[in-house]
Structure 1
């Protein structure tokens, strides 16, 4: 029987691993492999190109069609500079809250999935549970595609993929996609009193950022008020800017990073194409003046949106397991559900905790959410028995 107390004990072990996206997650993966091996379950790694990280998937129960994939990411966001009042790598209970980095996003769900492993391996299942744990979700859903490709090649078709992002154990049927770019503007240094003798990368970058700001405003104006997303329109924000050496030197280089988040049905490549054409034009102009100057635009990530599957099998199942009869829901953040959908899997998002707690100092998950998550897992195993 899946028990919330057991899942909480597992959660305490999971959060002790610093799986910030910049770090390796291999110790975490080894821990999961060892837990699975103890009950006779084998697992498969799908390593990153440099071997520093890995996805993991495993099948619990018979290797037949119609199973359920429990999908979650192992990485967490940094704690750098955040005013934590507890140790972010130690699960700390205060009243009905469990504090730690990743407790909510999304090791709480992973702990619940692992708590279900012994019963899933007991021999009573008619259809399997598949675990699918990824890396680098927080930096653009970079790890999951290789794992999803392996799942599609090697597993009997599952009936549903449940991506356990924090939704308060309510079923979410859609999310926005995210495309992010790094723009590097290179200028030519000169004394700031003689700007005609050089090019300020900062000044050129400001012009490009102005175009992105205008684009963001246009996207807001064009938003569909009937959209289930909040905000209803595609959004564009510039998240990082760095450039310049000193106040009296024309900047040699300026870098900035932006992301574009689009609801299903909007093509991010088409939206951003005019801006990239502008970057190319500025690049040609700067190179004509100084050979080392120019603009380089590099796409960092491209995660597809997740479109609602009207009366889809994943949503029907998840609603039944969660006891959710509420309205259809969609979220503005990006997740791996769109990648599963793109590969032909029926998917849904449903997991414990609130997205409002994700990425915050003193991140926490309520014990009531762990209880609801444990009940969800019990019902899932019962559903796979018949």
Structure 2
């Protein structure tokens, strides 16, 4: 564990909040891997100071096993931290610091595995990929994905190390983030009924989205492996108006849907578009310009891997379990799965218990379990 702990201390010390560059942490990871004979390929972002990294150790070849992690973390501002968030500290069996659970604990374990692989006689390569800006909607992997297929080949398994408490997760929902812009008429508030208030369109749009949500809860696909077993729609932000005495001519909603694999996002989007059209049409007899327009801001795919996939079976064998689970949060796993790579999510720590919280920590036992699993991966590649 000494190398993992030393590495984790260095990793936590990099303030890789998504709004900041991550070039320094990638340089540290690349230097660590190059010192162990890895073949490294930086994956620059169009954003200055942002980049990912692909690396492999062992013989060249299309197969092997791929380990995947992101290097960014969520902000600490506004959270009641009782210790320095970007300095690793220990209390008993707990290691504190931003990213210890999500997900620099896994990154440290990946580097431990790379160190072990460099000392082993591998028959297949160990492949590693590190991304950026995962915390703001899997933005980095979307920028990287065009180069990924030629680099990774066809690994027989991919382990994405988001915190699952070291359970083998074979599924999570996909997500789309959207904005609805509602157009009404400006006017003096003393004559408000003569004008179309954009906030009224926005309120009707919210009511329509709630109806769509109710429909999916009653009639949509269900998967009881999830805490919420159906696809969901959530409005997170509403804005509009400039002053109390002005009828608002513009209002906006920022909302999302998270969908089961069985509910096609195109179908959900069609229902949302129908609501927007109906709301706009309702006001056009009073104002021709009344409208609700929908723009997709971001999206990432879900994961719905078979329990019998090679990745699931390998992880289960290494962990000594036959159990699988599904997680509520999104990951980058769906991108690798879409490339035809058998993919699961399995990593140390609890997202519900520690992820994104003040005084984030990881238990030593979780890191030890992750090390054992990845040591097993290296032995598998040496067999």
Query: Common fold, TM-score beyond 0.5?
Result: yes
- DSSP-derived class of the 2:18 partner: coil
Contact preservation (8 Å) 1:229, 1:263: no
Match of 1:256 among 238, 253, 258: 253
Q: Name the residue aligned to 1:38.
A: 35
**Counterpart-to-counterpart distance in 1, 2:28 and 2:310:** 32
The alignment status of 1:132 with 2:129, answered yes or no, reads yes
CA distance in 2, matches of 1:224, 1:197: 44
Offset, 1:312: 0.8
Larger strand proportion, structure 1 or 2? Answer: 2
1:161 to 155, 158, 162: 158
Look up the match of 1:347: 343
* Residue 336 (structure 1) aligns with: 332
- Report the secondary structure of 1:75's partner residue: coil
Superposition deviation, residue 342 in structure 1: 0.9
TM alignment of 1:109-188, pairs within 5 A: 109-122=106-119, 124-188=121-185
Tell me how far apart the structure 1 counterparts of residues 73 and 128 of structure 2 sit (CA, whole Å).
Answer: 18
Could you tell me how far 1:325 is from its partner in structure 2? Answer: 2.6
| Residue matched to 2:5 | 8
**C-alpha deviations, 1:60-94, integer Å up to 9, x for none?**
11112331111011122222322222222222222
Measured against aligned partners, the alpha-carbon deviations of 1:333-368 in whole angstroms (never above 9, x if no partner) come to 221111111111110111000111211222211111
TM-score, normalisation: structure 1: 0.91
CA distance in 1, matches of 2:299, 2:170: 20
Q: 1:236 aligns with which of 204, 216, 233?
A: 233
Contact 2:164-2:351 within 8 A present in 1 as well: yes
- Provide the TM-score with structure 2 as the length reference: 0.92
Structure 1 residue 223: Cα displacement: 5.2
8 Å CA contact 1:166, 1:350 repeated in 2: yes
In structure 2, distance between residues paired with 1:92 and 1:251: 51
Preserved contact between residue 37 and residue 57 of structure 2 (Cα < 8 Å): no
- Structure 1 unaligned residues grouped into runs of 5+: none
Cα gap change, 1:24 to 1:187, in 2 (>3 Å): farther
Cα distance, 1:221 vs. partner? 1.9
Assess if the C-alpha contact under 8 Å between 2:196 and 2:286 holds in 1.
no
1:277 Cα deviation from its structure 2 partner: 3.3
Is the 1:17–1:27 contact (alpha carbons within 8 Å) kept by the matching residues of 2? yes
Match status 1:289 vs 2:287 = yes
Within 2, Cα distance between the matches of 1:244 and 1:209? 17
Q: Distance in 2 between matches of 1:87 and 1:194?
A: 55
Q: Which runs of structure 2 are paired with 1:1-386 in the superposition (5 Å)?
A: 4-122=1-119, 124-222=121-219, 227-280=224-277, 282=279, 289=287, 294-326=291-323, 328-356=324-352, 357-386=354-383
Aligned residues: CA RMSD: 2.2
Shift of 1:208: 0.6
Unaligned stretches of 5+ residues in structure 2: none
Count of equivalent residues: 381
Q: 1:330: how far off?
A: 1.3
